[in-house]
């Protein structure tokens, strides 16, 4: 999944490992502090967790010192993400040992299944371990842990669970954009990726419940939804014998309101269909932006990664998308230093980046994950200093490309959805263009949730600086 960030370049994704949010205040019998690591899907899952807990009378607090229960929604995608979560758990554990014996400490999400024995038995770090498909069971498990003083565990993965009927509590939302989960799990089995093991088999949420949630968001004044899944392009839902595709689903969401912008993440290049590209072209409110992880620029490495497309197939997909949807923008994920990567193969990644010229990229060093195909079959043989140097070359190239692409925007006019006040100044607002570029401009009379027409005047590699277009009103 695409990490959440204001900036377009993340050195081995520091940002991915930073907690995104803690919960807003809601009083209850026992108060929960919830901290979320990892991708957008985890943020969305935490909103489901908040909903399940609130329904059962638990309160939510922003302050861990006020909490009776601390829950950490974890990420296992790379080793450093896992280490960060462990350090955080140790901090809470020592709080518990130093005068807060009643504090319940729980691990949710992707680390749950793999590390449950370690976390529970060996390191005795936590009282509760709950996998991503067992959140309905949380109140029960919390009561159980509280009553018995024994650890409570449910890491069962499901083939059906989509939490379709649970209304997420958007506790830290900006009131403008929201995530809507449309499917869970992944059947792709990319050789480097732990997600199919931590999140289980792919399953799609019924279209009616997705449309219902989006309609509620429209009614509540939201202006943007990002629909989420590990691999949204393989969304499939059977409605009265008719298979609904992802393209059809997007089309249906786009009909709900012309004022609602629609984005999605993450899409796999192998099944990015022409039908989908035509939805981008035809529906104004389906944003002209696709996060299309390439992972690598060399066909042999892509084969070993089990990505099921070649360099040329990926490049022709980009060409097709650009010819069907002129002006469409792309971001990507790239892995440096995968097993057996030669210097020449690394240069293929650089040359692919030069050909595609991504607007954004999330760039990572390969990190071996236990149980994956790569861990079992290949040697993690690229020395750390070589991985680092290759990643740096990739990042430097992308920074230059992003800056040049942003410079090309100077003088252009964009419609920006206002998300809030800019971090730089209270006098300025920030928001995204249709193509997912962050723009900063003077506040004037605009407010959060407005669409503002702006002209780009300057830029950095990460941000467009812009001026609002003054609309002359007739008297
Ligand atoms: N090592 C490095 N990066 C990884 N990703 C997934 N697994 C690994 C790994 N083992 C990256 C991929 C994916 C993104 C979410 O994280 O680029 O698209
Ligand atoms: Fe992991 Fe590949 Fe599935 Fe993405 S598509 S979650 S990288 S296995």
pLDDT per residue over 365-388, tens digit each?
A: 999 999 999 999 999 999 999 999
Count of structural domains, the chain: 4
Pocket of ligand 2, candidates 132, 186, 232, 291: which has the most ligand atoms within 8 Å of its Cβ, to mutate?
186
If you count DSSP H runs as helices and E runs as strands, how many of each does the chain have, helices first? 13, 21
CATH of the domain at 279: 3.30.750.210
Q: 69-89: per-residue pLDDT in tens?
A: 999 999 999 998 888 888 999
Count Cα atoms within 13 angstroms, Cβ side, for 414: 30
* Same domain (yes/no): 282, 294: no
222: helix, strand or coil: coil
* Same domain (yes/no): 341, 440: no
Q: What is the pLDDT of residue 25?
A: 55
Burial of 475 by CB count in 10 Å (0-12 exposed, 13-18 middle, 19+ buried)? exposed
Q: Which helix (H) or strand (E) holds 453?
A: strand 451-459
- Under 8 Å CB-to-CB from 97, ≥6 apart: which residues? none
Give yes or no for a contact between 93 and 86, defined as CB atoms under 8 angstroms apart: no
Whether residue 366 has its Cβ less than 6 Å from ligand 1? yes
* Same domain (yes/no): 226, 244: yes
Cα separation, 138 vs 370, in Å, equals 27
Pocket of ligand 2, candidates 196, 229, 232, 295: which has the most ligand atoms within 8 Å of its Cβ, to mutate?
196
Residue 3 lies in a domain: no
pLDDT confidence bin for 116, thresholds 50/70/90: confident
Q: Which helix (H) or strand (E) holds 274?
A: helix 274-282
Whether residue 230 has its Cβ less than 6 Å from ligand 2? yes
Q: Using the 3D structure, point to which of 408, 424, 444 is the last residue of a domain.
A: 408
448 secondary structure, DSSP code: T
Q: In 3-75, which ranges are E strands? A: 31-36, 59-60, 69-74
- Mean pLDDT over residues 246-258, rounded? 98
CATH of the domain at 103: 3.40.50.12160
CATH of the domain at 300: 3.30.750.200
* Same domain (yes/no): 42, 121: yes
Residue 68 falls in which region: left (phi positive, over 0), alpha (psi -120 to 50) or beta:
alpha
- Pull the structure tokens for residue 467: 């001026």
Cα separation, 301 vs 308, in Å, equals 11
* Same domain (yes/no): 133, 76: yes
Whether residue 12 has its Cβ less than 6 Å from ligand 1? no
pLDDT confidence bin for 119, thresholds 50/70/90: confident
* Same domain (yes/no): 40, 76: yes
- Pull the structure tokens for residue 450: 């407005």
Give yes or no for a contact between 176 and 217, defined as CB atoms under 8 angstroms apart: no
CATH of the domain at 438: 2.40.50.140
Residue 131 lies in a domain: yes
* Same domain (yes/no): 108, 129: yes
Residue 282 lies in a domain: yes
Residue 1 lies in a domain: no
Cα separation, 193 vs 110, in Å, equals 12
Looking at the CA of 2, name the nearest ligand: 1
pLDDT confidence bin for 143, thresholds 50/70/90: very high
Cis peptide before 266 (omega within 30 of 0): yes
- Mean pLDDT over residues 13-30, rounded? 50
Give yes or no for a contact between 119 and 85, defined as CB atoms under 8 angstroms apart: no
Q: Is the pLDDT of residue 151 over 80?
A: yes
* Same domain (yes/no): 93, 117: yes
pLDDT confidence bin for 2, thresholds 50/70/90: very low
Tell me the percentage of the chain whose pLDDT exceeds 90.
81
Whether residue 267 has its Cβ less than 6 Å from ligand 2? no
Q: What is the pLDDT of residue 7?
A: 25
Looking at the CA of 188, name the nearest ligand: 2
Q: Is the pLDDT of residue 157 over 60?
A: yes
Q: Is the pLDDT of residue 230 over 90?
A: yes
Q: Kindly give the distance from the C-alpha atom of residue 208 to the centroid of ligand 2, in angstroms, as a whole number.
A: 26
Q: Is the pLDDT of residue 124 over 60?
A: yes
* Same domain (yes/no): 248, 276: yes
Q: What is the pLDDT of residue 17?
A: 40
Residue 4 lies in a domain: no
> In terms of residue numbers, what domain contains 440?
413-468
Q: Which residue's CA is the nearest one to ligand 1's atom 15?
A: 1
Please, what is the average pLDDT of the chain?
A: 91
pLDDT confidence bin for 19, thresholds 50/70/90: very low
Count Cα atoms within 13 angstroms, Cβ side, for 52: 20
Q: Which residue's CA is the nearest one to ligand 1's atom 18?
A: 333
Name the residue among 464, 422, 429, 428 with its Cα closest to residue 450.
429
Pocket of ligand 2, candidates 268, 296, 375: which has the most ligand atoms within 8 Å of its Cβ, to mutate?
268
Q: Is the pLDDT of residue 264 over 50?
A: yes
Atom of ligand 2 nearest to the CA of 196: 8
Q: Using the 3D structure, point to which of 287, 310, 331 is the last residue of a domain.
A: 287
Q: Is the pLDDT of residue 300 over 90?
A: yes
Residue 81 lies in a domain: yes
* Same domain (yes/no): 329, 383: yes
pLDDT confidence bin for 54, thresholds 50/70/90: very high
Atom of ligand 2 nearest to the CA of 186: 3
* Same domain (yes/no): 334, 387: yes
Bigger pLDDT: 39 vs 456 = 456
Cα separation, 450 vs 459, in Å, equals 22
Q: 386-425: per-residue pLDDT in tens?
A: 999 999 999 999 999 999 999 999 999 999 999 999 988 8
Q: Using the 3D structure, point to which of 408, 435, 457 is the last residue of a domain.
A: 408
Residue 474 lies in a domain: no
* Same domain (yes/no): 149, 16: yes
Residue 164 lies in a domain: no
Task: State residue 134 phi and psi, 5-degree precision.
Answer: -120, 20
pLDDT confidence bin for 26, thresholds 50/70/90: low
Whether residue 31 has its Cβ less than 6 Å from ligand 2? no
């Amino acid at each position: 999944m695409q990490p959440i960030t204001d900036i377009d370049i993340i050195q081995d994704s520091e940002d991915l490992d930073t907690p995104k949010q803690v919960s807003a205040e809601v009083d209850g019998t026992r108060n929960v502090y919830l901290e979320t690591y990892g991708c957008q899907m985890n943020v969305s899952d935490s909103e489901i967790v908040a909903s399940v807990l609130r329904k059962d009378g638990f309160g939510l607090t922003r302050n861990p010192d006020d909490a009776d229960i601390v829950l950490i929604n974890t990420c296992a995608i790379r080793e450093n993400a896992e280490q960060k979560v462990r350090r955080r758990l140790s901090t809470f554990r020592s709080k518990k040992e130093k005068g807060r014996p009643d504090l319940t400490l729980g691990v949710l999400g992707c680390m749950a299944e793999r590390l449950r024995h370690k976390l529970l038995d060996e390191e005795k770090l936590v009282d509760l371990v709950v996998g991503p498909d067992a959140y309905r069971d949380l109140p029960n498990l919390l009561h159980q842990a509280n009553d018995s003083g024994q650890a409570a565990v449910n890491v069962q993965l499901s083939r059906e669970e989509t939490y379709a009927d649970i209304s997420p509590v958007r506790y830290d939302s900006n009131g403008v954009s929201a995530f809507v989960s449309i499917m869970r799990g992944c059947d792709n089995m990319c050789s480097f990726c732990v997600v199919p093991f931590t999140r289980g088999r792919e399953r799609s949420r019924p279209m009616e419940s997705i449309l219902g949630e989006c309609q509620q968001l429209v009614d509540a004044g939201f202006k943007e939804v990002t629909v989420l899944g590990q691999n949204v392009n393989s969304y499939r839902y059977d409605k009265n014998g008719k298979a609904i595709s992802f393209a059809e689903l997007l089309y249906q969401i786009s009909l709900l309101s012309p004022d609602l912008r629609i984005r999605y993440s993450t899409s796999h290049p192998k099944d990015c269909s022409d039908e989908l590209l035509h939805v981008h072209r035809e529906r104004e409110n389906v944003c002209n932006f696709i996060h299309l992880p390439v992972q690598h620029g060399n066909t042999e490495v892509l084969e070993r990664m089990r990505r099921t497309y070649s360099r040329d197939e990926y490049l022709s997909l980009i060409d097709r998308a650009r010819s069907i949807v002129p002006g469409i923008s792309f971001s990507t994920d790239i892995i440096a230093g995968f097993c057996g990567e030669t210097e020449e193969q690394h240069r293929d990644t650089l040359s692919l980046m030069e050909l595609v010229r991504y607007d954004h990229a999330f760039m990572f060093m390969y990190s071996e994950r236990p149980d994956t195909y790569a861990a079992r079959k290949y040697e993690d043989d690229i020395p750390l200093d070589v991985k680092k140097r290759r990643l740096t070359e990739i990042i430097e190239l992308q920074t230059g490309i992003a800056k040049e692409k942003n410079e090309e925007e100077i003088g252009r006019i964009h419609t920006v959805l206002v998300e809030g006040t800019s971090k730089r100044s209270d006098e300025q607002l920030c928001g995204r263009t249709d193509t997912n570029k962050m723009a900063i401009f003077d506040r004037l009379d605009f407010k959060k949730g407005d669409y503002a027409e702006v002209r780009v005047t300057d830029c950095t590699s990460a941000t467009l600086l812009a001026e609002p277009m003054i609309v002359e009103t007739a008297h």
